[in-house]
Amino acid sequence: MASEKVMMGLDIGSSWIRAAIGSISKDGSLMVDTLCERPSDGVRNGVIVNVEQTLKSISSVIQEAELQAGVEVQTVIAGVGGSSIEGRQSEGVIGINTKGLEITSSDIFKSLEVARTFELAQDRFILHTLVQDFSVDGKSGIKDPVNMSGHRLESRALVVLGSQTNCSNTKKCLQRAGFNNSRLVLEQLADAEVVLGTDEKEMGTVLINIGSNITNMIVYQGGSPCYVGGVDLGGNNVTNDIAFLLNKPKTTAEQIKCESGNCFIPSVKQEDKIIIPQVGGLPSIQMPKVELSKIIEPRMAEIFSLLKQDLEIKGIRGNFGGGVVLVGGGSLISGATELANEIFRMQARIGFPEALPGLDRTYIDPRYTTVLGLLKSEARRSGGGSNRHSNGKDSSKSGFFRKLSNFIKTVV
């Protein structure tokens, strides 16, 4: 393998642990070598609650992936998500005192350091600093102020805060699995990396990952993330509702949901019937499909409504030309885009990860966006990561924006 760097994206989900190994070749492009998944253990609401159990699941999926790829991985990029993540809008102002009042990249970094300086609540730490834009002498909306003249530089950034405890547990597991060289990345950013194009980020898009126990959200406006959030609810809550209300085991409820569930009642025909398997060898029974939707729709509507409410409370409004994009296993339920469209009053679509070189087509599926995005985010940091979404704009951002994206730090 003519590669400079082999690395692994690791999505430690509440239901599945997914590992993708990729290599960045000398010409800077990313090649996916393999993707493996195993049911996860010891993770609840996207957070490790049992280190030993999680370590066991992580180790087995990593071993399988390394075996399949025929390589030993040194660098792991793991995802962080869930409701403990908080995005804080922050500004950093500095005076320019260089010769000729010309703004340098060092001024940019200083202003971002100021934006990162605020009191943190206990257990909080800065996971990422996501640059939005700059103002020079009150003129706002500037993306690249280097070499501009001015007296006052203001940076605007979305500072992403994580839970020290949760992230330390993830780091601990990775260390015990043999990885001292690991980096944590916000899952929402990973999703966006392989699902959203430059135009969608520019026009405004709400990207939602419906997992099993958590739903993550990231909002882009003007090309940059302006909000991150989420709720501790997901597809498994729908399964639990079906199991409880139909009095069935969870495995049966999961099967019914995946095969016959629809979360948008208006799209279900009144006459449609579904087969409900019975336990103990009893013959299956028939049930109107709409009755199943009456169980599923309220929970899915609750998830979307809570996210929408969150946006309203935080004052995130404006144009969203890119609409709502749904990813994660929970987005696979029929009717999800129709329901999202009705609740958010925006067009909605399912997001598929881009066809990265080497990626088997079976993984072009909304369940794999996070793991592939983690891999790609590392490739881009290393200067590679070609993709079909970039329209040439990004590459013109040359060294400055690469430096800024490297400023999107992980400080655990």
Ligand X SMILES: Nc1ncnc2c1ncn2[C@@H]1O[C@H](COP(=O)(O)OP(=O)(O)OP(=O)(O)O)[C@@H](O)[C@H]1O
Q: Which residues bind Mg ion (CB under 5 A)?
A: 13, 211
> E-assigned strands of 40-166?
43-44, 47-48, 75-80, 86-95, 124-136, 139-142, 152-163
Report the side by side order of strands in the sheet with 16-25: 30-39, 16-25, 3-12, 75-80, 182-186
The one-letter code for the residue type at 275 is I
Give dist(CA 205, CA 220) in Å, integer.
5
Min CB(328)–ligand X separation in Å: 4
User: What residues form DSSP beta bridges with 208?
Assistant: 217, 326
Size of the site for ligand X (CB under 6 A): 22
The token pair at 51 is 């280190």
Q: CB nearest Mg ion: which residue? A: 211
List the one residue from 154, 254, 354, 378 that touches ligand X (CB under 6 A).
254
List the one residue from 145, 229, 230, 234 that touches ligand X (CB under 6 A).
234
The one-letter code for the residue type at 374 is L
The one-letter code for the residue type at 141 is G
Q: Looking only at residues 181 through 220 of this chain, which bind ligand X when binding is defined by CB under 6 A? A: 211-214
Taking CB under 6 A as the rule, does residue 367 contact ligand X?
A: yes
Nearer to ligand X, 14 or 293 (CB): 14
Which of the listed partners (Mg ion, ligand X, none) does 337 bind, with a CB threshold of 5 to 8 Å by partner kind?
Answer: none
Q: By CB under 6 A, which span of 22-30, 200-208, 231-239, 275-283 interacts with ligand X?
A: 231-239
Q: By CB under 6 A, which span of 128-136, 146-154, 273-281, 324-332 interacts with ligand X?
A: 324-332
Taking CB under 6 A as the rule, does residue 7 contact ligand X?
A: no
Give dist(CA 31, CA 1) in Å, integer.
10
Nearer to Mg ion, 136 or 371 (CB): 371
Which of the listed partners (Mg ion, ligand X, none) does 254 bind, with a CB threshold of 5 to 8 Å by partner kind?
Answer: ligand X
Q: By CB under 6 A, which span of 127-135, 160-168, 323-331, 351-359 interacts with ligand X?
A: 323-331
Q: By CB under 6 A, which span of 50-58, 124-132, 232-240, 318-326 interacts with ligand X?
A: 232-240
Give the DSSP H or E segment for 19: strand 16-25
Q: Which residues contact 160 (CB under 8 A, 6 or more apart)?
A: 85, 86, 87, 88, 126, 127, 128, 129, 130, 186, 228
Closest CA to 331 of 406, 255, 234, 254: 234
Taking CB under 6 A as the rule, does residue 258 contact ligand X?
A: yes
List the Cα angle 8/189/323 in 5-degree steps. 135
Taking CB under 6 A as the rule, does residue 221 contact ligand X?
A: no
Nearer to ligand X, 51 or 258 (CB): 258
Taking CB under 6 A as the rule, does residue 243 contact ligand X?
A: no
Give dist(CA 242, CA 261) in Å, integer.
10
Min CB(238)–Mg ion separation in Å: 15
Q: Looking only at residues 27 through 56 of this chain, which bind ligand X when binding is defined by CB under 6 A? A: 46
Give dist(CA 174, CA 26) in Å, integer.
27
Which of the listed partners (ligand X, Mg ion, none) does 367 bind, with a CB threshold of 5 to 8 Å by partner kind?
Answer: ligand X
Q: Which residues make up the interface to ligand X (CB under 6 A)? A: 13-16, 46, 211-214, 234-236, 239, 254, 257-258, 328-330, 332-333, 367
